[in-house]
Amino acid sequence: MGSVAVIGGGWAGCSAALTAARLGAQVILLERADMLLGTGLVGGIYRNNGRLTAILEAEELGFGQLFAAMDSVARHHNLRFPGHEHASLYDVTLIEPLVRELLLLSGVEVRLRARAVDVTLAEGRLLKVAVGKGEELAADAFVEATGTAGGMTQCSRFGHGCAMCIIRCPSFGSRVSIAGKAGLEEVMGLGIDGTPGAMSGSCKLQKESLAPPLREQLEKEGVLIIPLPAALRRGNERDKVCQQYNLPAFKENLVILDTGHAKMMVPYFPLDELRQVPGLDTSRYADPYAGGVGNSIRFTSITPRDDRLKVEGLGNLFCAGEKAGFLVGHTEAVVTGALAGYNAAALSLGRELLILPETLACGDIIAFANIGGGGLEQRSRRITFSGSQYFVRMKELGLYSADRAAVRRRVARTGLQSVFAG
């Protein structure tokens, strides 16, 4: 039996671990914090815009289990808000135990508070990762899904300092790049102003801190759109990772979504100003705790890789999520995680590796997000099924579809139905 170690337990790492286990590999998942899902613990949006197409493809390809878990705790379906259609919102307070149980039932060994801090190499391969002090873990193949946010030094250099976000570097240690520890040169993203990195695109209020009428409306309708007085409208103080929220509607209004928390679609908002908005005079941040000051800085270490998601320069390391390109969102993380986990398991079991064809949205976005030489154009990209340049590309190529039957026919033409099911 082949063995796969997945480093990082966000949506990408969980997807990689689940897929590798279903293919028959022995899988261990290392997560530095005390819960899985990382930023998925405060995310919540899926099936919006082109993400619906990607999820329909994923279900036909055989890796729809994590999306089914989201559906099982969804608070709202088929929502519309500025620039977005047919969105679903999963409850961020309920999702993590479901995903952990799914992994355990699939045979994945899940180790929490297990931070990989160093590597051992031999002949162009990754042999072992050091976990904490004194422990080393060997595997036939590895998947890095450590993300690109943090640690505190990066947030201080390129942002507004540690805002006490869900990544919780002060408690569990800063994120460590496995590819970086292996001596590989990684690429840092650039904002539209040339500043390195990008700021996370939303923050969360405790829903109970909203005025009761607003809270009731949010829970009933799933969306609040609150006009802002001109004096309180936020500009582009810092480039956001989610460029689809740069529309004027998100500057002229507060757009708030019900994900269990009240998800506010701005990177940060000074609390004293936020409390001047009618109905938010007692509002309080749930994430980041210092959400009036700033948010986490992401896109600080993208890994060069091929379209199999195999990292360039190492024969048995794959990458997923933001490590695989300037990719934004949980759906994108699950898609890349599934392919990385599949190929890591295939390598460990002596099978042929897979490239998803570009006739599928899931394959096209992986090819499109390849950073290549890491030039200025690639470093300023923000790639997501849900908006910005890639959603435009989806529509131009005829890849965007909300028609399940049409997507089923598209996948059938590739001959890859249920390929991820093992």
pLDDT tens sequence across 119-178 = 999 999 999 999 988 899 999 999 999 999 988 999 999 999 999 999 999 999 999 999
Q: Could you report the per-residue pLDDT of 305-321, keeping only the tens digit for each?
A: 999 999 999 999 999 99
Which tokens go with 159?
């942002």
**Average pLDDT estimate for 31-37:** 98
- Kind and range of the H or E element at 133? none
pLDDT tier for residue 302 given thresholds of 50, 70 and 90: very high
**Average pLDDT estimate for 63-90:** 97
Q: How far is CA 246 from CA 240, 271, 275, 374, 388, in A?
A: 8, 21, 23, 24, 9
**Average pLDDT estimate for 208-235:** 93
Counts of helices then strands in the chain (DSSP H, E): 15, 18
| Domains located in the chain, CATH noted | 3-194+297-421 (3.50.50.60), 198-287 (no CATH)
**Is the Cβ–Cβ distance between 205 and 264 less than 8 Å?**
yes
Name the percent of the chain lying above pLDDT 90: 85
**Is the Cβ–Cβ distance between 136 and 120 less than 8 Å?**
yes
Largest Cα separation within the chain, whole Å, is 64
- Distance from first CA to last CA of the chain, Å, rounded? 14
Q: Could you report the per-residue pLDDT of 321-362, keeping only the tens digit for each?
A: 999 999 999 999 999 999 999 999 999 999 999 999 999 999
- Residue with token string 């899902």: 37
pLDDT value of position 238: 46
pLDDT value of position 293: 93
Long-range contacts of 397-402 (CB under 8 A, 24+ apart): 397/364, 399/50, 399/53, 399/360, 399/361, 399/364, 400/49, 400/50, 400/53, 400/361, 401/53, 401/56, 402/52, 402/53, 402/56, 402/86
Give the separation between CA 322 and CA 301, rounded to whole angstroms.
9
Phi, psi at 99, each rounded to 5°: -70, -40
**Is the Cβ–Cβ distance between 121 and 71 less than 8 Å?**
no
Give the separation between CA 18 and CA 90, rounded to whole angstroms.
20
Which range has the top average pLDDT, 80-89, 189-198, 234-243, 364-373? 80-89
Give the separation between CA 236 and CA 222, rounded to whole angstroms.
26
pLDDT value of position 49: 97
Q: Could you report the per-residue pLDDT of 377-417, keeping only the tens digit for each?
A: 677 788 999 988 899 999 999 999 999 999 999 999 999 99
Q: Could you report the per-residue pLDDT of 175-217, keeping only the tens digit for each?
A: 999 999 999 999 988 876 778 888 888 999 999 999 999 999 9
pLDDT tier for residue 371 given thresholds of 50, 70 and 90: confident
Name the percent of the chain lying above pLDDT 70: 95
Query: Which residues have a Cβ under 8 Å from the Cβ of 336 and sit 6 or more positions away?
Result: 12, 15, 309, 319, 320, 321, 324, 325, 327, 366
Amino acid making up residue 2: G
**Average pLDDT estimate for 358-383:** 84
- Residue-averaged pLDDT of the chain: 93
